[in-house]
Amino acid sequence: MHAAENLLFFTLMQLVLILLAARLGGSLALRLGQARVVGEIVVGLLLGPSLFGALAPDTFHYVFHSVSAAPVTIMSQIGLILLMFQIGLDFDFSHLKEKENSRAVLLVAALGLAAPFVLGLAVGHLSHDTLAPEVNPLGYSLFLATALSITAVPILGRIMMEFGLTRTPMGVITITSAAINDVVGWITLAAVTALTLSSFSLSGMLLNLGLLALYAAFCWWALRPLLRWMLARFASHSDNLPQSLMAILLAVIFLSAMSTYKMGIFAIFGGFILGVLLHDEPDFVAAWKAKISDFVTVFFLPIFFTYTGLRTNIGALDSWALWQWCLVILAAATLGKFGGCYLGARWAGRGASESRIIAVMMNTRALMELIVINVGYDLGVIPASVFTMLVIMAVVSTLVTAPALRLWLPKLKPELVQEAS
């Protein structure tokens, strides 16, 4: 009993620190014109060895290393599964059906994926012997390429709403391209994960992906009608989510996560698949957001950011050579995503100013990037130093979005107003 109470004491201490720091960081980010999640990500990093551990190592060790890290680790993973379920719920497939500006969407999405992926493969090949000599070169390069290709649709959507861009042609092109990026990105991540977990056996990877495809088909054709019947049976609406329905859904989400884990794919994909199944149930989505979403965002999300921060040690980049590689990765990510999307928009006939704005929005990575690199780190194909570099890249690419929009949008405003009308 004493050991259990001791574990509980330190876990509660960590949670108090994480939650209060996250709210403070989010509030400061809003005051600085950034999205709240940006502040929460930065605070999560500061609570790790990069700042807290460097300035007060004894206190840091007392808070985070006096007992096993298992409780925070498990909570972060449960929160991530629920977060992926919410991302699936928020996924708007209607963007993928937009015919207006379709040429621009296809070019921006294609070049915005291909350019950073190719550059990621190149950087992975060149840096492997220096940064990851003990890691399988194929797995390392593929994960690096996937990480550089990601766009964070949820964060991008919030930024676009704040700047009033959601109903403009430029906004439609951007969010639709980002949605395509997300679909292809998750498929790519699933494929790379399956390849890695099958010890880089092509047959093993195809087996894992085949099982995942069969599971997705089962969910869509068999489980989805059952879930929709259940939603109708319990009659959830925007201000009501019956407790029995909530309990059943949570159990189904966790069973789905367990299923994808057993297929050789990470558990988070199970949560995402379940969210996609119910994305077109507006009453349920509204009810989930009213009763559950805030708890996931306020409680679980900061735990995941801090969990990432505890794995990130900026001080470990203790040589100019490592910082040079960090700059190379940041430059490749920015050049690939920004440059590819800019060229795609220009090729489609959009103006230079508008193309620049589309490109900088597509360069937003934030949460999605952290999910990808945590998967790579857990699989052992991204070493600690590269993990830190990719975290820095995710933060920087997200931080620059809002200031760039404030700088460039006023120059476009007359054209934007005319086109939107």
Average pLDDT over residues 185-196: 86
**With pLDDT > 70 as the criterion, what percentage of the chain qualifies?**
94
Q: Count Cβ neighbours within 10 Å for each residue of 322-346 and write b for 16 or more, e otherwise.
A: beebbebbbebbbebbbbbbbbbbb
**With pLDDT > 90 as the criterion, what percentage of the chain qualifies?**
54
pLDDT, residue 263, reads 85
Average pLDDT over residues 226-241: 80
pLDDT, residue 238, reads 57
pLDDT, residue 240, reads 77
pLDDT digits 0-9 by tens, 62-73: 999 999 989 999
Structure tokens at 327: 């700059």
Residue in the block written with tokens 């159990």: 251
Q: How far is CA 138 from CA 65, 372, 379, in A?
A: 34, 16, 13
What residues contact 318, with CB distance under 8 A and at least 6 apart?
none
Q: How far is CA 296 from CA 38, 82, 395, in A?
A: 16, 7, 21
Rounded Cα distance, 276 and 84, in Å = 10
pLDDT digits 0-9 by tens, 342-372: 999 999 988 898 999 999 999 998 788 888 9
pLDDT, residue 100, reads 59
Listed range (42-46, 134-138, 177-181, 324-328) with the worst mean pLDDT: 177-181
Listed range (236-250, 276-290, 296-310) with the worst mean pLDDT: 236-250
**pLDDT surpasses 50 at 197:** yes
Rounded Cα distance, 415 and 396, in Å = 29
pLDDT band at 165 (very low <50, low <70, confident <90, very high): confident
pLDDT, residue 390, reads 95
- Bridge partner residues of 237 (DSSP): 240
- 3-class DSSP state of 150: coil
pLDDT band at 415 (very low <50, low <70, confident <90, very high): low
Cut 0.85: pTM above it: yes
| Fold held by 72-420 | Na+/H+ antiporter like fold (1.20.1530)
pLDDT band at 180 (very low <50, low <70, confident <90, very high): confident
Listed range (174-183, 286-295, 311-320) with the worst mean pLDDT: 174-183
**Closest Cα partner for 113 from 151, 149, 153, 79?**
149
Q: How far is CA 312 from CA 149, 284, 302, 333, 391, in A?
A: 21, 37, 15, 19, 8
pLDDT digits 0-9 by tens, 76-128: 999 989 988 988 887 766 655 666 578 888 999 999 999 999 999 999 999 99
pLDDT, residue 3, reads 85
pLDDT, residue 418, reads 42
Structure tokens at 2: 């004493």
pLDDT, residue 146, reads 93
